[in-house]
Amino acid sequence: MPALEARHWTADDVRALPDEPGKRFECVDGELLVSPNPSLPQQSAVGFLLQALAPFARQHAIGAVFMAPGNIELDRFTLVQPDVFVLPLVDGRRPRIAEEIGHPLLFIEVLSPSTARYDRVVKRGRYQRYGVEYWIVDLDARLLERWLPQAEQPFIQTETVRWEPSGEAVLEINLVALFEDALGAP
């Protein structure tokens, strides 16, 4: 695939690509990222996080929770599809069209061997520059890396992770239960 990597990709270029079963296309700072569909354990982790985040975000009127595939355009050269993402509400309701998307509140990626470099290096750097809290779920290591926008190092969480998007409302997610749900008992 060297010919694809030699060009500087735009969000419009990625949207124009034909759908290819089993592949997700994104670009970050003009670099095309192609990743496979998630595995069953990854899907389980995504589902667990959705079930934890969605009621909390709704109850506290913080935002709306979505999952991939769903394009988020950060700029002309960056179009991403985080595994799970939280967007702010628009006039008290979920955003319905791309033009209504405000500044994302949280991006989450669940690692796979083929996406680790993208998620830990390429996307992390871009998400931090954009000012988004970013969680990387590493199923193999049974840990979550919590990256804040200005952080030089992640907070490594193995038991629970706390999300405090409004300063008042706090959600605590049991990571042990997440890993057991996705992978079974250790």
What pLDDT sits at residue 138?
Answer: 97
What pLDDT sits at residue 63?
Answer: 94
For 35-85, how does the pLDDT look when each residue is reduced to its tens digit (9 = 90+)?
998 999 999 999 999 999 999 999 999 999 999 988 999 999 999 999 999
Residues in the chain: 186
pLDDT over 90 at 113, yes or no: no
Classify strands 133-138 and 78-80 as parallel, antiparallel or unpaired: unpaired
Residue 131, classed as helix, strand or coil, is: coil
Cα separation, 151 vs 146, in Å, equals: 9
pLDDT over 60 at 2, yes or no: no
Domain segments of the chain as ranges? 38-183
Mean pLDDT of 161-168: 88
Residue 117, classed as helix, strand or coil, is: helix
What pLDDT sits at residue 84?
Answer: 97
Split at pLDDT 50, 70, 90, the class of 3 is very low
pLDDT over 70 at 170, yes or no: yes
4 burial (CB, 10 Å; 0-12 / 13-18 / 19+) is: exposed
What CATH number is given for 38-183 in this structure?
Answer: 3.90.1570.10
Q: Assess contact for 115 and 35: CB atoms under 8 A.
A: yes
